[in-house]
Structure 1
Amino acid sequence: MTTSPDSVVREFIAEHRAAFLDDLSDWLRIRSVSADPTLAAEVRRSAEWLTGALRATGFPVAEVWETPGGGLPAVFAEWPSGDPAAPTVLVYGHHDVQPAARADGWATDPFEPTVVDGRLYARGAADDKGQVFFHTLGVRAHLAATGRSAPAVNLKLLVEGEEESGSPHFGALIRERAERLAADVVIISDTGMWSERTPTVCTGMRGLVDCQIDLFGPSQDIHSGSFGGAVPNPATEAARLVAALHTEDRRVAIPGFYDGVVELTARERELFAELPFDERQWLSVAKSRATLGEAGFSTLERTWARPTAEVNGIWGGYTGPGGKTIVPAEAHLKLSFRLVAGQEVAKIREAVAGWVADRLPEGIGHEIVFPGATRPCLTPLDHPALQSLVRAMGQAFGEEIRFTREGGSGPAADLQDVLDAPVLFLGISVPSDGWHSIDEKVELDLLAKGVETAAYLWADLADHWGAPGHPLDQA
């Protein structure tokens, strides 16, 4: 009787599952909290541990990379296919974790992995060590099923050490190492699925531009009885800016803001609508009593695929007890803008700056500061690399794979821009995993599905786009 590749993969995973979890638990015990300077040595120890584990997996190249500007270390690994026509795949994840302590309310020690009812509890179990580490068993299962001594693709890994601290040095790192990181496609394994029962693939993330606007009026606070109503008030002008930020139908009113926006297709809207979305439950998580947003779009469409403008903070003048009848000297605003595919960071900054300047009266000075920004990224549903991922995931889960997007922002766009490669998202985490919260966990059966997906994916990519004349970058 012929043994199918699927059964070989599943038998291999079952045979090596216990050892895999033991190794993952060893890694999870390392307190690689990038936000805590006193734990910088632990972050480095985490990088060194992973480097050793990747070498033990079979990667002929596994290195700790120092980051520009004295940041915390990343890990790079590479395993060439040996096939001249093989596509090159770069897998991204991170090995740093959020702070955690038993005193925060954890049921167990966050850095002593504990298995309860098929769930592995530990800081980093889902975000992101578990999702990085499933690739080690996945590539070994791939080799077992195909009989190869090297992967069917040129496989690279980049595992960052500062993602939980905002990736302050990541852009500089990938620009500096762009030649080593060159790839036909990027796989992000730092994401999740809709739920345990609804496996999904994320197809994009929104970008982000934020700013602080400082408004200046009189050179000091002045008496509102003597001068109020006769001189410009910066607090009033801050309120007027906020009031003018949106139209009546909740669209962003800044001229040029929607230029270039890639609109949702009818098929994408249908696919979003098919997801089992419970708006009441969503509102309970959002701690809100009602939904509100751009007219003509559903809640999921608003949070995943529409650009937005939010007032993050507004302050100025007297805020103490009682009254103080003044015209304040200054007022301040913090705004953030989520961007979608087709919007450019530089153009949005220019549009916002111009809008602010045009709306302020004479006598109000202002400064506007834009910190770092993140570009949006989106892979079309019909992209052949995405279809490879969907097939591999469907093979692992045995059911139809649906599609989501991510409303937040991350380093995916940096990788897409610098490497000029499409970005795919392979994650098996679910909302109940508690990222950044107490009792973070990963579902062990879903973790095994991640291993299985990776085992199928490399062969599918090579089979469909490894032949001459069919490179991924021409898909």
Structure 2
Amino acid sequence: MSEPRARADSAVSAVRTYVREHRAAFLGDLAEWLRIPSVSAQPEHAADVRRSAEWLAGKLAATGFPTTEIWETPGAPTVFAEWPADDPAAPTVLVYGHHDVQPADRADGWHTEPFEPTVADGRLYARGAADDKGQVFFHSLGVRAHLAATGRTAPAVHLKLLVEGEEESGSPHFRALIEEHAGRLAADMVIVSDTGMWSEDTPTVCTGMRGLAECEIRLHGPDQDIHSGSFGGAVPNPVTEAARLVAALHDDRRRVAVPGFYDGVVELTERERQFFAELPFDEAAWLRTAQSHATLGEAGYTTLERVWARPTAEVNGMGGGYQGPGSKTVVPSSAILKLSFRLVAGQDPDQVEKAVRAWIDGRLPAGVRAEVAFGAATRPCLTPLDHPALRSVVRAMERAFEQPVRYTREGGSGPAADLQDVLAAPVLFLGISVPSDGWHAPDEKVELDLLLKGVETAAHLWGDLGETWHDAR
């Protein structure tokens, strides 16, 4: 056996031994945290969200982080912790997660009390077990395992943690917070531990998330509803024009027909398409999960490519005119459309907004006025497959899972892109949750074996980055 291989095997063994010896205490601490109902969306739990932040700050200090702080926002508090490396030239890593959780009640269909953690069949059931307290907390044991296995007194990287308290409420104050503290948060990379893997048997690393732009379109025609017999066919109908906009949103290949919408899109590489194709994807099972009966989307792309790597336009709502029983023969005075656009790397939300506004203006007849309101947008993020930090994440996972790691993306959107945008640092994803964990649903759980693999991965990652980062760059 070569010396590097023997050294790597020894490190894996040392990390695993430390994790096994401290498993019970780690799970006991996690259960204590999970008992705090830190539901950010419910005002009556505001004190619990604060208690959750205080609990985490105290536990990270006990772990060894020399700096732990609670950062206030106009809403719920965020926890910041920092542990510098001994080597000033070591890379700086910022780990992101959140400590708030979704609402949960036994009456929702839980088989156990959602805020009384229960272990059964190798699974830990509780609200927040997977999303996201479990995946945040594995870093506390991971850094201790890293130190124990390497004999260090400080991590091999400058390690920072940022644990938000409002993610489940849409992160309304998050961007302003990171802009305010951008100097303290400066990092060479961001690790997001609020994501998952393909399955228990197929460990994966997510390499990107789509962005999001949303708009509401209100169309106004006559000053009031008017008689369709007297005026119909001679004046514009806002509901008809809304339907015409919807019908024109896609072409016959299901591509978004807004001119300029695809400007800048980073196309999938053949290597990425091959990686997606190698995943054990069961389209029939996916359709059952989607409560749908057939796939449909942009021509020339697979289902996974459509939801992970292609931009979309969706009609989220449409209304106007008479909705009651029977008929009411009117030309309605107004109509409403709600649209959302999932964006991929290379797309600029501001440019997409301009393109959509111009498209709407160019399609409406005289006599119909549009009020178009866009909400705050989320930018897409993407890590290239050859990025040195991503290679470190993959190597660390492969040591923990002892099998090859594959690649996925996320079709949804999140605050990770704000970190990428403000800090100008690449975003990487390290999560061990699986689809059956039931995020936001009754009986949320985490697989204990996978949770401990997350601990091991974090332990290996800091050493790998410390050894390879500067040479790899």
Shorter-chain TM range is over 0.9
Query: Structure 1, residues 212-239: CA drift from partner, whole Å, max 9, x if none?
Result: 0000000000000000000000000000
1:4: how far off? 1.2
Q: What is the aligned partner in structure 2 of residue 282 from structure 1? A: 286
1:46 corresponds to which letter in structure 2? S
Written as runs of structure 1 = structure 2, the 5 A alignment for 1:128-143 is 128-143=132-147
Q: What is the aligned partner in structure 2 of residue 194 from structure 1? A: 198
Written as runs of structure 1 = structure 2, the 5 A alignment for 1:33-112 is 33-67=39-73, 70-112=74-116
Residue in structure 2 matching 1:374, options 378, 403, 408: 378
Q: What is the aligned partner in structure 2 of residue 316 from structure 1? A: 320
Q: Is 1:122 aligned to 2:126, yes or no?
A: yes
SS in 2 for 1:4: helix
Written as runs of structure 1 = structure 2, the 5 A alignment for 1:98-247 is 98-247=102-251
How much is the aligned-residue C-alpha RMSD, in angstroms? 1.0
In structure 2, distance between residues paired with 1:290 and 1:140: 48
1:71: how far off? 1.1
Q: What is the aligned partner in structure 1 of residue 462 from structure 2? A: 458
1:275 corresponds to which letter in structure 2? L
2:27 corresponds to which letter in structure 1? L
Alignment length, in residue pairs?
Answer: 467
Residue in structure 1 matching 2:32, options 18, 26, 36: 26
Q: Is 1:346 aligned to 2:350, yes or no?
A: yes
Query: Structure 1, residues 293-315: CA drift from partner, whole Å, max 9, x if none?
Result: 00000000000000000000000
SS in 2 for 1:59: coil
SS in 1 for 2:44: helix
Unaligned stretches of 5+ residues in structure 2 = 1-5
In structure 2, distance between residues paired with 1:275 and 1:461: 27
Q: What is the aligned partner in structure 2 of residue 263 from structure 1? A: 267
SS in 1 for 2:69: strand
1:201: how far off? 0.1
Query: Structure 1, residues 1-34: CA drift from partner, whole Å, max 9, x if none?
Result: 9981111100100000000000000000000000
1:466: how far off? 4.2
Q: Is 1:430 aligned to 2:398, yes or no?
A: no
Query: Structure 1, residues 414-439: CA drift from partner, whole Å, max 9, x if none?
Result: 00011100000000000000000000
1:82: how far off? 1.8
Q: What is the aligned partner in structure 2 of residue 445 from structure 1? A: 449
1:53 corresponds to which letter in structure 2? K
The TM-score with structure 2 as length reference comes to 0.98
Query: Structure 1, residues 70-118: CA drift from partner, whole Å, max 9, x if none?
Result: 1100000000002021000000000000000111110000000000010
In structure 1, distance between residues paired with 2:79 and 2:107: 31
In structure 1, distance between residues paired with 2:213 and 2:66: 40
Identity of aligned residues (%): 75
In structure 2, distance between residues paired with 1:22 and 1:244: 56
1:46: how far off? 0.1
2:79 corresponds to which letter in structure 1? V
In structure 1, distance between residues paired with 2:13 and 2:91: 26
Query: Structure 1, residues 333-388: CA drift from partner, whole Å, max 9, x if none?
Result: 00000000000010000000000000000000110000111000000000011000
SS in 2 for 1:96: coil
Q: What is the aligned partner in structure 1 of residue 11 from structure 2? A: 5
